[in-house]
């Protein structure tokens, strides 16, 4: 689909939304008081996700206008174009098929794109990853001295790191423990501290490295891979496990390194057996790739069956997104509400607040997904955007965030929409046997106390506290204003039965599709990332100046020259 995007500001619904905005008065207290059915009517289900939109600053009229806008910018057609493999990544002339990574085995009709049987390719690679994971988990794959793998170190950056880290932390309860334990560590930062600390206490004989780079040319990843390879050789030689010669070193690399890459020549040049390289395709963007071979470390940690369950969760929301009418389509409604907040109510940021410690890396994962996708100022046909685009996504798990930044959300001057995420059944149910003699009774279910905060925060943000309510508590008049909460702070509540692999996949797919919806409205290509490239290119040009090349230093601007000189003078 190469046609020009629809300029949303020229649509009839945009004009109607603007008129609606000019008369809009958010009044969550009043709306709930006048409409007992609001919560039920504005709550929707996508797979296992129970999504309550009722505490958003939106009326039925608002949602109706937003759905009209979605139709006018041809969102249904764009959704179908993505799922069927049209080249909607316009600047790179590529299909966008991360959804194909989680299609059901044997799905009919098969997905054929550009003459290639995508389903067959995906299932073959998944089978290869699964077979390798089983080899590692059973001990059939061993290191150079025959010892089984006990630690996997994933070396990647961006989507090759953020996704696997997030999923690994979220699904730790599904990992093996005790003498059979398998740990996964992640190295991403080119700061040498990262690889040094992650390998410091490891046994080289039981360590497997996965180098994840589609092109096998990512500067940070390949630098860290070389550091890891040198560490492996040094430690094996020091332990007397291998001889200090080239043949022994190459044998060690083949036993302790595999790759996630399609650049098999570069993989081989590094010393990795190309047979131990797992591939993915140019229609998979890095930030959409955790459900591809990029998830090899996860298949090892949790087993191929758990990884398949994760994919099934993605698929559940994919099917909901593709087939549900827009009026009840959860990713569409959430994405369009974000458009409402950004383009009409002036929001700049969006908080994601998981009340589940296992999801502590989820906001960081969403930062790349959302901001790398929609941080654009040109549309997919090269013309300037006609609206504000993108939001700054951020967040921390509750209740930690309550003691850090919730003050700003509750009483600050900025509108900050927030998504609250929780599960009914925790991975580690515990009781407080003693209590505190006041708020917490002996034998209290700690998860229930935790979720009481979840429910209370969205209530407080929505309804606030009036001056009259503050006075009724006996508050001295001079501090009444400081204790008033305006309310009308919008939130979405997302609940699920438990944080299973399927539910995690559903959450990730939900935000993938929310991001897509916003990109369609703004007319931008959510699947390229040219803004990532400039800094990387300049780093290569600046590197000689940092290393002592005076001619290269002279070519820099005065600020950069001064900073580099300071570095040279103070480097110990």
**Any idea what the CATH number is for the domain that residue 416 is in?**
3.40.50.10490
Q: Is residue 320 part of a domain?
A: no
Question: In this structure, is residue 341 part of a structural domain?
Answer: no
Alpha-carbon distance of 28 to 571, in angstroms, equals 57
Tens of each residue's pLDDT in the chain, 572 residues: 458 999 999 999 999 999 999 999 999 999 999 999 999 999 999 999 999 999 999 999 999 999 999 999 999 999 999 999 999 999 999 999 999 999 999 999 999 999 999 999 999 999 999 999 999 999 999 999 999 999 999 999 999 999 999 999 999 999 999 989 999 999 999 999 999 999 999 999 999 999 999 899 899 999 999 999 999 999 999 999 999 999 999 999 999 999 999 899 999 999 999 999 999 899 999 999 999 999 999 999 999 999 999 999 999 999 999 999 999 999 999 999 999 999 999 999 999 999 999 999 999 999 999 999 999 999 999 999 999 999 999 999 999 999 999 999 999 999 999 999 999 999 999 998 999 888 888 988 999 999 999 999 999 999 999 999 999 999 999 999 999 999 999 999 999 999 999 999 999 999 999 999 999 999 999 999 888 778 778 888 999 999 999 999 999 999 999 999 999 999 98
Residue 373 domain flag: yes
Among all chains, which residue has been given the structure tokens 């929409």?
417
Domain end residue (candidates: 442, 476, 499): 499
Can you say whether the dihedral through the CA atoms of 169, 172, 174, 179 is positive or negative? Answer: positive
Same domain, 484 and 547: no
Active-site residue identified among 205, 220, 309, 372: 372
Of 372, 364, 408, the C-alpha closest to 389 is: 372
Question: Which residues, in sequence order, are CB contacts of 89 under 8 Å at separation 6+?
Answer: 95, 96, 283, 285, 525, 527, 528
Pair (413, 482) in one structural domain: yes
Strands (E), 380-475: 392-394, 418-425, 431-432, 444-445
Residues 214 and 295 placed together within one structural domain of the fold: yes
Angle at 100 between CA 95 and CA 103, to 5 degrees: 160
Q: At 77, is the secondary structure helix, strand, or coil?
A: helix
Query: What's the pLDDT at 2?
Result: 57
Q: Which of 442, 474, 499 is the last residue of a domain?
A: 499
Residue 356 within any structural domain of the chain: yes
Q: From 133, 150, 30, select the one nearest 464 (Cα to Cα).
A: 30
Residues 133 and 178 in one domain: yes
As a whole number of angstroms, the distance between CA 69 and CA 67 comes to 5
Same domain for 537 and 495: no
pTM exceeds 0.85 for this model? yes
Verify that 378 and 240 share a domain, yes or no. no
Q: Are both 297 and 357 inside the same structural domain?
A: no
CA dihedral 226, 229, 234, 235 (to 10 degrees): 140
Say yes or no: 121 and 266 in one domain.
yes
Determine whether 309 is an active site residue.
no
493 shares its domain with 562:
no
Q: Please say whether the beta carbons of 511 and 78 come within 8 A.
A: no
Radius of gyration of the chain (CA): 26
Q: How far apart are CA 525 and CA 90, in angstroms?
A: 7
Number of structural domains found in the chain: 3
Task: Return the pLDDT at 1.
Answer: 46
Q: What is the per-residue burial (b if ≥16 Cβ within 10 Å, else e) of 247-278?
A: eebeebbebbbbbbbbbbebbeebbbbeebbb
Q: What is the DSSP letter of 74?
A: T
Q: Does residue 171 lie within any of the structural domains? A: yes
Closest Cα to residue 182, out of 272, 279, 299?
A: 299
Last residue in a domain, options 478, 499, 520: 499
Residue 540 pLDDT: 87
| Contact (CB, 8 A) for 292 and 280 | yes
80, 434, 533, 536: which is the annotated catalytic residue?
A: 536
- Quote the CA–CA distance of 29 and 24 in Å, as a whole number: 15
Domain around 558: 533-570
Main-chain dihedrals φ then ψ at residue 133, nearest 5 degrees: -60, -40
Same domain as 291, residue 146: yes
Answer yes or no: do 485 and 354 share one domain.
yes
Is-contact 525 519, C-beta < 8 A?
A: yes
352 belongs to a structural domain: yes
**Any domain includes 246:** yes
Q: Is 448 a catalytic residue?
A: no
Residue 515 lies in a domain: no
Q: How far is CA 515 from CA 162, 245, 335, 508, in A?
A: 17, 51, 7, 11
Q: How far apart are CA 430 and CA 148, in angstroms?
A: 34
* Catalytic position from the list 71, 234, 327, 403: 403
Tell me whether residue 20 is one of the annotated catalytic residues: no
283 and 181 within one domain? yes
């Amino acid at each position: 689909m190469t046609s020009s995007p629809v300029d949303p500001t020229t649509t009839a619904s945009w004009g109607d939304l603007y008129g609606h905005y000019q008369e809009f008065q958010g009044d969550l207290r009043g709306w709930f008081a006048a409409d007992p059915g609001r919560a039920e009517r504005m709550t929707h289900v996508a797979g296992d996700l129970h999504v309550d939109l009722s505490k958003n600053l939106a009326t039925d009229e608002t949602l109706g206008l937003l759905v009209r806008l979605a139709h006018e910018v041809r969102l249904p057609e764009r959704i179908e174009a993505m799922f069927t493999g049209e080249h909607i990544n316009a600047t790179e002339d590529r299909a966008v098929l991360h959804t194909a990574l989680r299609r059901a085995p044997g799905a009919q009709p098969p997905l054929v794109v550009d003459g290639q049987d995508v389903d067959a390719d995906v299932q073959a690679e998944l089978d290869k990853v699964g077979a390798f994971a089983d080899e590692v988990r059973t001990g059939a794959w061993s290191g150079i001295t025959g010892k089984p793998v006990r630690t996997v170190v994933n070396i990647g950056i961006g989507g090759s790191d953020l996704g696997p880290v997030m999923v690994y932390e979220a699904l730790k309860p599904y990992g093996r423990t005790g003498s059979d334990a398998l740990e996964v560590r992640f190295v991403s930062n080119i700061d040498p501290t990262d690889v040094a600390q992650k390998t410091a206490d490891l046994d080289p004989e039981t360590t497997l490295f996965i180098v994840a780079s589609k092109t096998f040319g990512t500067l940070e990843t390949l630098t860290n891979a070389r550091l890891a390879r040198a560490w492996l050789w040094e430690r094996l030689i020091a332990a007397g496990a291998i001889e200090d010669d080239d043949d022994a070193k190459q044998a060690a690399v083949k036993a302790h390194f595999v790759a996630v890459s399609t650049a098999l020549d570069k993989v081989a040049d590094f010393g990795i057996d190309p047979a131990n390289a797992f591939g993915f395709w140019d229609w998979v963007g890095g930030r959409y790739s955790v459900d591809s071979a990029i998830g090899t470390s996860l298949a090892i940690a949790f087993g191929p069956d758990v990884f398949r369950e994760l994919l099934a969760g993605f698929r559940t929301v994919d099917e909901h997104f593709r087939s549900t009418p827009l009026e009840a389509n959860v990713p569409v409604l959430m994405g369009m509400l974000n458009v409402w907040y950004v383009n009409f109510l002036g929001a700049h940021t969006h908080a994601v607040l998981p009340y589940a410690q296992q999801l502590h890396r989820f906001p960081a994962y969403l930062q790349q997904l959302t901001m790398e996708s929609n941080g654009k100022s040109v549309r997919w046909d090269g013309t300037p955007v006609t609206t504000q685009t993108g939001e700054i996504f951020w967040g921390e798990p509750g209740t930690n965030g309550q003691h850090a930044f919730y003050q700003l959300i509750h009483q600050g001057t900025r509108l900050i929409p927030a998504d609250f995420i929780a599960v009914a059944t925790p991975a580690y149910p515990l009781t407080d046997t003693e209590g505190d003699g006041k708020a917490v009774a002996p034998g209290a279910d700690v998860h229930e106390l935790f979720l009481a905060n979840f429910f209370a925060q969205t209530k407080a943000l929505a309804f606030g506290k009036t001056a009259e309510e503050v006075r009724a508590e006996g508050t001295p008049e001079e501090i009444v204003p400081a204790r008033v909460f305006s309310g009308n702070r919008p939130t979405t509540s997302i609940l699920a039965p438990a944080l299973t692999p399927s539910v995690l996949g559903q959450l990730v797919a939900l935000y993938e599709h929310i991001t897509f919806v916003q990109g369609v409205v703004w007319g931008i290509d959510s699947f390229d990332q040219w803004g990532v490239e400039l800094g990387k290119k300049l780093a290569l040009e600046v590197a000689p100046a940092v290393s002592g090349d005076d001619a290269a230093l002279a070519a820099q601007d005065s600020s950069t020259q001064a900073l580099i000189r300071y570095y040279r003078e103070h480097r110990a």
